[in-house]
């Protein structure tokens, strides 16, 4: 690694009070299969970023290669202040053993993609994978700032993107994107089944004009709704907007947590992108709003304690507050079958089929979904091209059942939820208020 | 030019060592990029500078591609990458060509510092005032592609992007240069969005619509350019089967021509070193030449290479449009708005989406204006133009007489984000569905 102190000294000579150097090394393998092409690539990255400034002016410079004390550094621009965090005691941390696993091999990776195609066809004859991309990478980063903070982190993440077409013409399509710490956690049969379900309901389903009832949201749907609520949960701004007179944000089954150290999580790390220790933060506890997610420099701007939540996906990015593993706490004793059995008349929504619309000012949301109509706990008809619509407050207060199947999705950070049973929402053919 | 000292002959000789079979495609892609941004007022990191350089080596053999990329332009990593793509044993050694590149220029972008002020004044000239957060960025890129037999000329691109945020939305634009005219263009759009902020979406509507050049560019980028990329066509069958299909009204001529893009982003070769082609995507509404890169061109004699683009050295190239040109027709602005029926004028599109399998298409419009009896009338709020591509494009009944640069923006596909440019006239379509 580079002489970070030498670089800090050189930058601080420019009449600046704060400076930070971040150096990152990474390697990745990318495997892609389409019906006509197969691509295997490897990348090695090495790059750095420097932030420096004072209460009046600052700059940010980032480049590939190794940083040198001579820069060249841009001129700090007035009107853009910069302050950096102080060192803080680091709670005990041991690097997870799977950080050391080598990247997936070319043959192994291509076999995984090939098996996904086979499994999909087994689940739904004549369905085909249009595109499958597996990326597997690991990295190490080192950070030093002029206030004496020093940190090193490691990362290990794999992502899988799948795009598939169903049988018939015109064929319906479906895609999914998942992330895990290493590729062996991707289960071809489960993923193929999820795609096949999506394709099957999309081909045969229709949307009700307008209907309500009890609605069971699979983790993929519930996570998308939670991701839409992030502006309420991150930063000192509007977090309390949805709280009632007694601080109630949601039903008493709603406990929302963010944890940068979530065991086995894709972004599990002892410190955040500025070197501040990560920890578990309870944002909503049994429906009561406790605090928003606050970075160190936001402490005091809202009730609550700050945590290491400045994300830094890569050397090109400036650190910005956001969730790492934000999730709705599961209920370990409630299997999904119990929740489904409790639905007398309603819907089981298995997937979100596109981005949602969230209007926090008017407290409304609409999310495109697919799934099944349910009667007496059993699927009665496929549902597709439907919109899950309702009030955001209604969603949070209408959660009457929480499953145990916590699943994370790579959205804005890893956002996780178990299956949720919700009342008060509607399913519509057209998104609307 | 950073690559003027690069010994391309030595690189070509080295590459020839791994091109063992007659049909092998082998190339090295060198790139240097620089981005300089003036962040919105108050954000940390006032002037932000990103600089990167590196290369990728690629071998394509019998439909399989192996690629290795590095964040450095140095001899040893280059030899390592060759060994990786050739899948040679680690003891195998390849020559290490001297890879000398020019030093980066000093960091200076004084034009960025003036632009937010220019934009504020342009907004005030519309007799309105509202807070805006402005980020303006300069993008520069230099590319050199080397094959074992052919060394393309070095290429460079330089342009600007501007993102404007206000409490009622975000607007982004790509600009060939920063000027008073560019500031006025962005200000006019920001003011129009401001004035439409409380307009209610229209009720579901079917009738005539007139698309301004910006909206035409977004529509045809999604519905013609993406639809005619060889890899997109392959999702539904054989790409060459598209040639000769009547896809749009006979009055529609659409080309992709990287060599006539705005100055600063004009290209004579693509990101695979193949000569850029003035390509008729639609001639008289009929598909003539889909977009193809070197790999897809090898699958059929009908497909021509020259449209291979890559967003970064770390990802393989793919067939993409660069500069879409819609040829003007003969209709004046008055002709386009004429007629007894009430219609919708669509000045801006925020995004479009095409399902390549079903052909279903949606164009999202942040606002629109009604027109009746040849005159523009009240503003309506956000709405969506929907349809099936094959049906929608046959509904074009008139093409405006004046084509102008419009609709430049970022296009993301397959994880690669690329700038795209267009020159377009206005269009009138009949019997089109627009819904809230």
For residue A243, the model assigns a pLDDT of 64
Structural domain includes residue B3:
no
Cβ distance A60 to B47 less than 8 Å, yes or no, reads yes
**Which of B170, B195, B220 represents a domain boundary (last residue)?**
B195
Spatial separation of the C-alpha atoms in residues B347 and A224, rounded to whole Å: 32
Structural domain includes residue B149:
yes
Asked whether residue B116 falls in the same domain as residue B217, the answer is no
For residue A238, the model assigns a pLDDT of 63
B71 contacts in chain A (CB < 8 Å): 44-47, 64-65
Evaluate if residue A1 carries a pLDDT over 70: no
With beta carbons less than 8 A apart as the criterion, state whether A422 and A215 touch. Answer: yes
Spatial separation of the C-alpha atoms in residues B326 and B217, rounded to whole Å: 8
Please report which helix (H) or strand (E) contains residue B230, including its range.
Answer: helix B230-236
Q: In A18-86, where does DSSP find H-type helix?
A: none
With beta carbons less than 8 A apart as the criterion, state whether B51 and B64 touch. Answer: no
A81 contacts in chain B (CB < 8 Å): 42, 44
Q: For residues A170-182, give the mean pLDDT.
A: 94
Asked whether residue B27 falls in the same domain as residue B149, the answer is yes
Asked whether residue B238 falls in the same domain as residue B272, the answer is yes
For residue B202, the model assigns a pLDDT of 94
Which stretches does DSSP call E strand in B286-374?
A: 286-287, 308-309, 318-319, 323-326, 343-346, 351-354, 360-365, 368-372
B65 contacts in chain A (CB < 8 Å): 37-41
Structural domain includes residue B410:
yes
Cβ distance B45 to A59 less than 8 Å, yes or no, reads yes
pLDDT tier at A244, thresholds 50, 70, 90? low
Cβ distance A38 to B107 less than 8 Å, yes or no, reads no
Evaluate if residue A240 carries a pLDDT over 60: no
Nearest to A63 among B52, B77, B315 (CB): B52
Spatial separation of the C-alpha atoms in residues B421 and B405, rounded to whole Å: 8
The complex's ipTM? 0.91
No. of helices (H) and no. of strands (E), chain B? 9, 24
Handedness of CA A424, A425, A427, A433 (dihedral sign): positive
With beta carbons less than 8 A apart as the criterion, state whether B398 and B381 touch. Answer: no
- CATH entry 3.30.2290.10 includes domain A4-204: yes
For residue A4, the model assigns a pLDDT of 93
Beta bridge partners of A346: A214, A374
Q: Which of A298, A302, A259, A263 is nearest to A281 (CA)?
A: A259
* Residue numbers of chain B with a pLDDT score lower than 70: 89-92
Asked whether residue B261 falls in the same domain as residue B174, the answer is no
Nearest to B44 among A41, A51, A172 (CB): A51
**Which of B147, B167, B195 represents a domain boundary (last residue)?**
B195
Asked whether residue B155 falls in the same domain as residue B301, the answer is no
Domain with CATH 3.30.2290.10 in chain A: 4-204
Asked whether residue B274 falls in the same domain as residue B408, the answer is yes
Spatial separation of the C-alpha atoms in residues B293 and A186, rounded to whole Å: 32
Across the A/B interface, how many CB contacts are shorter than 8 Å? 147
Asked whether residue B229 falls in the same domain as residue B312, the answer is yes
In sequence order, the 6+-apart residues with CB closer than 8 A to the CB of A164 are A120, A127, A128, A129, A130, A173, A174, A175, A195, A199
DSSP A333-391: T--HHHHHHT-SEEEEEEEE-S--EEETTTTEEEEEEEEEEEETTEEEEEEEEEEEEEE
For residue A237, the model assigns a pLDDT of 73
Residue percentage of chain A with pLDDT more than 70: 97
DSSP A80-112: -----PPP-PPPP----GGGGSPPPPHHHHHHH
Spatial separation of the C-alpha atoms in residues A70 and A51, rounded to whole Å: 15
CATH number at residue B89: 3.30.2290.10
Asked whether residue B86 falls in the same domain as residue B211, the answer is no
Structural domain includes residue B1:
no
pLDDT tier at A49, thresholds 50, 70, 90? very high
Please report which helix (H) or strand (E) contains residue B47, including its range.
Answer: strand B47-61
Q: Which of B69, B272, B81, B25 is nearest to A30 (CA)?
A: B69
User: What part of B 300-359 touches A (C-beta under 8 Å)?
Assistant: 314-316, 355-359
Asked whether residue B162 falls in the same domain as residue B219, the answer is no
Q: Which of A399, A58, A104 is nearest to A225 (CA)?
A: A399
Cβ distance A41 to B231 less than 8 Å, yes or no, reads no
Cβ distance B46 to A44 less than 8 Å, yes or no, reads no
Asked whether residue B191 falls in the same domain as residue B212, the answer is no
Asked whether residue B172 falls in the same domain as residue B321, the answer is no
Quote the number of domains for chain B. 2
In sequence order, the 6+-apart residues with CB closer than 8 A to the CB of A129 are A33, A35, A113, A116, A117, A120, A162, A163, A164
CA closest to A131 among chain B residues? B235
For residue A2, the model assigns a pLDDT of 62
Structural domain includes residue B130:
yes
In sequence order, the 6+-apart residues with CB closer than 8 A to the CB of A37 are B63, B64, B65, B295
For residue A239, the model assigns a pLDDT of 61
Structural domain includes residue B2:
no
Residue B137 lies in domain: 8-195
pLDDT tier at A119, thresholds 50, 70, 90? very high
B187 in contact with A, Cβ within 8 Å:
no
Nearest to B45 among A32, A60, A130 (CB): A60
Nearest to B295 among A37, A40, A130 (CB): A37
**Which of B172, B195, B218 represents a domain boundary (last residue)?**
B195
Evaluate if residue A423 carries a pLDDT over 60: yes
Spatial separation of the C-alpha atoms in residues A399 and A419, rounded to whole Å: 10
For A281-311, write each residue's pLDDT tens digit: 999 999 999 999 999 999 888 888 999 999 9
Asked whether residue B418 falls in the same domain as residue B332, the answer is yes
Instruction: Look at residue B3 and give its three-state secondary structure.
Output: coil
Evaluate if residue A231 carries a pLDDT over 80: yes
Spatial separation of the C-alpha atoms in residues A191 and A186, rounded to whole Å: 8
Cβ distance A65 to B71 less than 8 Å, yes or no, reads yes
CA closest to B355 among chain A residues? A173
């Amino acid at each position: 690694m580079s002489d970070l102190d030498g670089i800090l000294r050189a930058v601080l000579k420019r009449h600046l009070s704060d400076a930070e150097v971040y150096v990152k090394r990474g390697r990745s393998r990318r495997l892609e299969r389409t019906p006509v092409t197969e691509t295997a690539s490897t990348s090695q990255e090495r790059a750095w970023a420097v932030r420096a400034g004072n209460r009046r002016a600052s700059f940010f410079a980032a480049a590939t290669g190794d940083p040198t004390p001579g820069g060249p550094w841009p001129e700090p621009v007035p009107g853009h202040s910069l302050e950096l965090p102080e060192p803080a005691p680091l709670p005990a941390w041991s690097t997870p053993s799977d950080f050391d696993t080598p990247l997936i091999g070319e043959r192994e990776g291509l076999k995984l993609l090939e098996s996904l195609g086979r499994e999909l066809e087994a689940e739904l004859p004549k369905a085909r994978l249009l595109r499958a991309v597996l990326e597997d990478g690991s990295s190490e980063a080192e950070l030093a700032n002029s206030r004496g903070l020093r940190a090193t982190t490691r990362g290990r993440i794999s992502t899988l993107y799948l795009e598939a077409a169903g049988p018939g013409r015109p064929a319906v399509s479906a895609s999914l994107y998942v992330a895990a710490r290493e590729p062996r956690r991707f289960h071809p049969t489960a993923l193929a089944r999820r795609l096949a379900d999506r394709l099957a309901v999309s081909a045969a389903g229709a949307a009700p004009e307008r209907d309500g009832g009890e609605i069971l949201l699979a983790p993929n749907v519930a996570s998308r709704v939670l991701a839409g609520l992030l502006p309420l949960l991150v930063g000192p701004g509007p977090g309390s907007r949805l709280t009632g007179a007694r601080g109630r944000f949601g039903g008493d089954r709603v406990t929302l947590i963010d944890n940068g150290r979530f065991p086995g999580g894709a972004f599990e790390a002892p410190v955040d992108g500025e070197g501040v220790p990560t920890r578990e933060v309870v944002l909503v506890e049994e429906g009561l709003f406790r605090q928003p997610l606050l970075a160190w420099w936001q402490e005091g701007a809202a009730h609550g304690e700050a945590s290491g939540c400045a994300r830094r996906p890569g050397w090109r990015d400036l650190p910005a507050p956001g969730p790492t593993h934000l999730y709705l706490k599961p209920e370990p004793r409630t299997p999904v079958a119990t929740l489904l059995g409790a639905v007398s008349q309603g819907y089981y929504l298995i997937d979100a089929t596109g981005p949602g619309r969230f209007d926090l000012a008017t407290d409304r949301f609409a999310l495109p979904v697919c799934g099944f109509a349910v009667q007496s706990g059993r699927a009665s008809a496929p549902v597709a091209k439907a919109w899950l619509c309702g009030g955001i407050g209604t969603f949070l207060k209408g959660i009457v059942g929480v499953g145990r199947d916590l699943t994370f999705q790579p959205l804005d950070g890893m956002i996780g939820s178990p299956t949720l049973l919700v009342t008060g929402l509607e399913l519509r053919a057209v998104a609307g208020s | 030019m950073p690559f003027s000292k690069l010994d391309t002959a030595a690189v070509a000789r080295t590459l020839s060592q791994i091109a063992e079979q007659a049909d092998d495609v082998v190339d090295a892609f060198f790139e240097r990029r620089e981005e300089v941004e003036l962040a919105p007022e108050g954000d940390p990191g006032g002037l932000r500078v990103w600089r990167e350089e590196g290369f990728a080596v690629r071998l394509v053999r019998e439909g399989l591609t192996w690629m290795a990329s590095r964040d450095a332009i140095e001899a040893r990593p280059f030899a390592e990458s060759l060994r990786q793509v050739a899948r040679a044993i680690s003891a195998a050694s390849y020559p290490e060509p001297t890879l000398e590149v020019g030093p980066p220029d000093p960091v200076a972008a004084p034009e960025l510092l003036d632009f937010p002020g220019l934009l504020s004044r342009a907004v005030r000239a519309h007799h309105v005032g509202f807070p805006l957060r402005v980020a303006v960025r300069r993008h520069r890129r230099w590319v050199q592609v080397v094959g074992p037999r052919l060394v393309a000329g070095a290429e460079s691109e330089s342009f600007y992007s501007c993102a404007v945020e206000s409490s009622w939305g975000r607007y982004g634009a790509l600009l060939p240069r920063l000027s008073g005219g560019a500031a006025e263009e962005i200000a006019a759009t920001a003011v129009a969005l401001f004035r439409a902020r409380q307009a209610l979406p229209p009720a579901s509507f079917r009738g005539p619509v007139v698309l301004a050049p910006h909206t035409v560019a977004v529509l045809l980028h999604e519905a013609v350019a993406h639809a005619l990329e060889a890899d997109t066509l392959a999702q539904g069958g054989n790409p060459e089967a598209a040639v000769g299909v009547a896809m749009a009204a006979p009055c529609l001529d659409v080309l992709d021509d990287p060599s006539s893009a705005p100055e600063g982003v004009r290209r004579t070769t693509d990101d695979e070193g193949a000569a850029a082609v003035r390509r008729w995507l639609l001639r008289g509404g009929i598909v003539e030449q889909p977009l193809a890169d070197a790999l897809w061109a090898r699958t059929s004699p009908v497909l021509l290479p020259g449209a291979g683009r890559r967003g970064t050295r770390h990802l393989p190239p793919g067939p993409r449009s660069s500069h879409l040109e819609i040829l003007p027709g003969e209709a004046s602005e008055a002709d386009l708005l004429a007629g007894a029926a009430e219609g919708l004028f669509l000045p801006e599109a925020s995004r479009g989406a095409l399902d390549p399998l079903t052909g279903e298409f949606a164009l999202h419009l942040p606002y629109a204006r009604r027109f009746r009896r040849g005159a523009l009338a009240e503003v309506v709020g956000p709405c969506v133009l929907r349809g099936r591509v094959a049906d929608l494009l046959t509904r074009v009944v008139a093409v405006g007489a004046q084509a102008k640069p419009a609709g430049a923006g970022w296009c993301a596909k397959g994880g690669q984000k690329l700038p795209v440019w267009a020159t377009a006239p206005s269009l009138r379509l009949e019997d089109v569905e627009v819904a809230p």
